[in-house]
Amino acid sequence: MRFVLVLASVLVLASCQQNANKNAKVPAAAGMVSESLDSTQFTTIQWLDSVKEYGKITEGQKLEVLFRFKNTGDKPLIIESVRPSCGCTVADPPKEPIAAGAEGEIKGSFDSNGKNGQQHKTIYVYANTKGRQNHELTFTVDVQKKQ
């Protein structure tokens, strides 16, 4: 009986340690600094346009969205993740780091199929930036019902 109790205790402790190791690296999408971002390598970003108004489109159209930025710091800018607020919008981060002083862009696409009226969408960007690593890009579009 004592052996079973000791064995069960060891298994529980091992399981807890394994779960702690799994949770040690929190993904960037959760809004936490990931281990790959070293604060000594943080830089600054200037959004050349972080809010866009696209006017009217017809339901079913796909709208290409574009947000420009500049690395105003002295370290390479790494866009670690880009996460749209809903499934009707997709966006991709730049594949390579943006050099100090250089400009870059976040491209996305909004699918208006099944949508109508004023649409307000957000794209969340996570980068190695000083102060805060989470940034919000927003756009609005007025989707007109098909005739």
Q: CB–CB of 104/91 below 8 Å?
A: no
Check pLDDT > 50 for residue 75: yes
Check residue 1 and give its pLDDT.
52
* CB neighbourhood size of 103 (10 A): 12
Check residue 37 and give its pLDDT.
61
Mean pLDDT of the chain: 82
Could you report the per-residue pLDDT of 23-51, keeping only the tens digit for each? 333 334 434 444 456 788 999 999 999 99
Chosen CATH of 43-144 out of 2.70.98.10, 2.60.40.10, 1.20.59.10, 3.30.200.20 = 2.60.40.10
The DSSP H or E segment spanning 53 is: strand 51-58
Q: Give the torsion through C-alpha atoms of 139, 144, 145, 147, to 10 deg.
A: -150
Check pLDDT > 50 for residue 17: no
| Per-domain boundaries in the chain | 43-144
Q: CB–CB of 84/102 below 8 Å?
A: no
